[in-house]
Chain A
Amino acid sequence: DTGVSQNPRHKITKRGQNVTFRCDPISEHNRLYWYRQTLGQGPEFLTYFQNEAQLEKSRLLSDRFSAERPKGSFSTLEIQRTEQGDSAMYLCASSRLAGNTIYFGEGSWLTVV
């Protein structure tokens, strides 16, 4: 397995701009998760996909956030009209099936100035 890959690793953007992060999960992993982590905190669940279907979204995922996994492989997380409070590390993870071990990517750091 090549591991979960995320890009860009770092993004600095001005408040109000849109940003998009991409995640390539471990091949053949059906489930893909997005988490957000701020300094001093553990990761917080945002949303997850089983294949191409988005099965659950956290209340943390405001209307400005949208995630897609169009072909059941890679996923994108878009944040529209970014705010300073969006500054965080966005982590992608994948697993084979429910209840199986979840593997994380290296994360994408977002700084909104």
Chain B
Amino acid sequence: TQLLEQSPQFLSIQEGENLTVYCNSSSVFSSLQWYRQEPGEGPVLLVTVVTGGEVKKLKRLTFQFGDARKDSSLHITAAQPGDTGLYLCAGGTGSGGGADGLTFGKGTHLIIQP
């Protein structure tokens, strides 16, 4: 069974601070996706990374895929209250069957206080 561990589980910081959340696994993934989810809504895709060592930037968000494709991080610069939400990482193996579905971590609950 492939597991994705996300840390921290909960994070509450002040507006303007920087933060990093982590997604780790002992398994190799062909791709890794980050989603943001608000209460009562479905996950909204932020980014997909597919190459080991890949770094992608989305405004104040920086995503990195580990060289071995087993882990990933999300760094937010100058966090804003609008960044509040549940951040989920999800790994895909792309090897066919249900494995083409995603394995999700439990998420990081992020609260940015004004």
A residues at B contact (CB < 8 Å): 4, 6, 31, 33, 35, 40-45, 47-48, 55-58, 89, 91, 93, 95, 98-99, 101-107, 109
Contacts and interface: CB of A to CB of B under 8 A. Distances in A.
B33 A101 contact: yes
Nearest to B88: A42
Nearest to A102: B102
Given A43-B90, A106-B42, A107-B42, 5 more contacts: A6-B42, A33-B101, A42-B105, A44-B104, A56-B98
A101 B48 contact: yes
B63 to A, nearest CB: 14
Given A103-B45, A106-B42, A107-B41, A31 B104 contact: no
Prevailing SS type, chain A contact patch:
strand
Contact of A104 (B40, B43, B94): B43
Contact of B106 (A4, A40, A95): A40
Contacts of B105: 42
B103 A45 contact: yes
Nearest to A42: B104
A43 to B, nearest CB: 5
A109 B40 contact: yes
A98 B100 contact: yes
A91 B42 contact: yes
Given A106-B41, A107-B41, A48 B98 contact: yes
A44 B4 CA distance: 12
Interface in B70-113: 88, 90, 92, 94, 96-98, 100-107
Given A101-B45, A105-B42, A58 B33 contact: no
